[in-house]
Chain A
Amino acid sequence: MGVEQKLGNMGVVTLKLEELVNWSRANAMWPMLFGLACCAIEMMSAQASHYDMSRFGMELMRASPRQSDLMIVAGRVTRKMAPVVRRLYDQMPDPKWVIAMGDCASCGGVFNNYAVVQGVDEVVPVDVYVAGCPPRPDALIHGILTLHEKVRGEKFKDWA
């Protein structure tokens, strides 16, 4: 049925290095444990028992940016917080990805005023935007799966 029957007991798989690397990057992505506002609660829900993000290899949330490769910006980024978000992003080792979770992180949401950065993409490059105020955990998981798809299709030459 599967690849095991085809291979017999050879124990060898042939594929492109790029595919192998992308496959492993997508399937063991460590998000940073970093919540800003309301969306952080829904991010916690997505982590907890009902939605269980560990099904996608993402149960391990690291509190340190140096150990993580995905930043989920969950909530509104204020002018005071923006430099901190940037510093955290700079501290993450490559390769790294960013999900802007919720309307506030994507475009400022309902807060079009002096205090809130109108979209976190003013500060850090964003890969996936998740809409909703706050997005349901399902929506966040959809955003993460979209990111996985993106990671699987990445080319080495773009990183170099």
Chain B
Amino acid sequence: MTQIQEVTLDEIRHLVSERALTGETMLLNMGPQHPSTHGVLRLLLELDGETIVNCIPDIGYLHTGIEKNMEAKTYQKAEVMTDRMDYMNTVGNNFTYCLAIEKLVGLDVPPRAQAIRVILAELTRIQSHLVWLGTAALDVAAMSVFLYCFREREMILDIMELVSGQRMMTTYIRPGGVWRDVPVEFETAVREFLKIIPYRIDEYESMLSKNPLFLDRTVGIGKISAEEAINWGLTGATLRASGPDYDVRKFAPYSGYEQYDFDIPTRTEGDVYARYILHIEEMRQSIRIIQQALDKLPLGPVRSNNYKFVPPPRSEIGTSMEALIHHFKLWTEGFNAPKGSVYVATESPRGELGCFLEGDGGPKPYRVHFRAPSFDNLQVLPKLAKGHFVADLVAIIGSIDIVLGDIDR
């Protein structure tokens, strides 16, 4: 087993200011085991009293080697790894990866599968925002919001379990469609959820939005201007809180997002409070999308019938020899994707989630790379934290909504 490395001050000389070397400012280690770093993020803080002079993130404590591991698996089997990347947006990761495969091999997805994908992706967005809201509020010492948020999250997880049999790591979206059609109870379950959730979101807002203690901790903290946010490459609510209305669902619609009527909420303040308001608003917009998608959920197949890439229905295996051959080939050696590289982007709850996929003509991807929104958003943390108190740093880390699994992969 490797040992914890002892680092001398000389080795981090280039990271800290001159004053740290004379002992005028204090160096403090925060994490990787810290309740408010949202995972295993480690921060090296240089403090002047309680004020942060420098904040140096150290990532990699959750580096799992997912991208490399995916190269050793066939296209279908590699999908299982994508769930475990950004574990708050499991359906969204599958979605992005499947869109990339579909673009690489040229698969068409039936309209019903597209609508189901949108519904599940938006439910996942709400679920992710609920966890964000609960934990971010917990960071600024609002205990009870956490309990309320997790109550509604269970309803979403029940729906996920209904369609896929798993609560979190569903792997329900497959290349060319979805695993199977949704069960009959699906629509009632989602409608039941849609009936309740708007009132519950109002309830969360009533606990936080005008709470003077919450306002004191969030307004004017961790500010960033629109121009800087764009230059840092931020996406998602962290960018939109500063003004730009960039959302992949509007700018480059995929999977039929263009047919739904929804807004991209923006704020101009660019502080922690603005990011909180945006997360709340985005949940409301997601509800609108789910409502529309559910109202015009088309009937029809849920998987492409291109059996070179998509396994045929099990009922056909007993009667058709071709189906049996396709089934056997797909589950033993997989399908051969053509040579070439594609990039597909979707809007994850944290920002633009991109998937770069390169095929070399064989059944396994030559290279898979994910543009993780949390990774790009985390870069800005040292800039946001500078000059604030340590207690504010906790609120800032919460507000940029990072998931360490997404950063380290």
Chain A residues engaging chain B, CB cutoff 8 angstroms? 33-38, 40-42, 44-45, 48-50, 63, 65, 75-76, 78-84, 86-88, 110-116, 122-123, 133-134, 136
Contact = CB atoms under 8 A, between A and B. Distances in A.
B203 to A, nearest CB: 13
Interface string B127-169: 0000100110000000000111011011001000000000111
B17 interface: no
A24 B252 CA distance: 59
Contacts of B157: 45
Contacts of B134: 48
Nearest to A91: B33
Contacts of B146: 48
Interface string B18-37: 00000000000000111100
B64 interface: yes
Given A41-B131, A81-B32, A84-B32, A49 B64 contact: no
22 contacts: A34-B33, A37-B62, A38-B169, A38-B405, A40-B39, A41-B131, A45-B153, A49-B147, A49-B148, A50-B150, A76-B64, A80-B63, A81-B40, A82-B2, A83-B2, A84-B4, A84-B32, A87-B4, A111-B64, A113-B65, A115-B65, A123-B1
Given A41-B131, A44-B150, A114-B65, A80 B60 contact: yes
Contacts of A36: 39-40, 62
Contacts of A86: 1
B197 interface: no
Nearest to A109: B84
A113 B84 CA distance: 15
Interface string B49-85: 0000000000011111110110000000000110010
A7 B405 CA distance: 57
A76 B134 CA distance: 23
B8 interface: no
Interface residues of B, number: 41
A33 B36 CA distance: 10
Contact of B80 (A42, A83, A87, A110): A110
Given A41-B168, A63-B35, A48 B64 contact: no
Given A63-B34, A78-B62, A37 B405 contact: yes
Contacts of B148: 49
B64 to A, nearest CB: 5
Greatest chain B CB density within 10 A among A79, A88, A110, A123 is at A110
Greatest chain B CB density within 10 A among A38, A44, A65, A76 is at A38
B168 A38 contact: yes
Greatest chain A CB density within 10 A among B39, B64, B87, B154 is at B64
Contacts of A112: 69
A36 B84 CA distance: 12
B84 A38 contact: yes
Nearest to B147: A49
A113 B151 contact: no
A35 B39 CA distance: 6
A79 B61 CA distance: 8
Contacts of B147: 48-49
A49 B1 contact: no
B68 to A, nearest CB: 7
Nearest 5 Cβ contacts at the A-B interface: A48-B150, A38-B87, A115-B65, A113-B65, A63-B35
Nearest to A112: B69
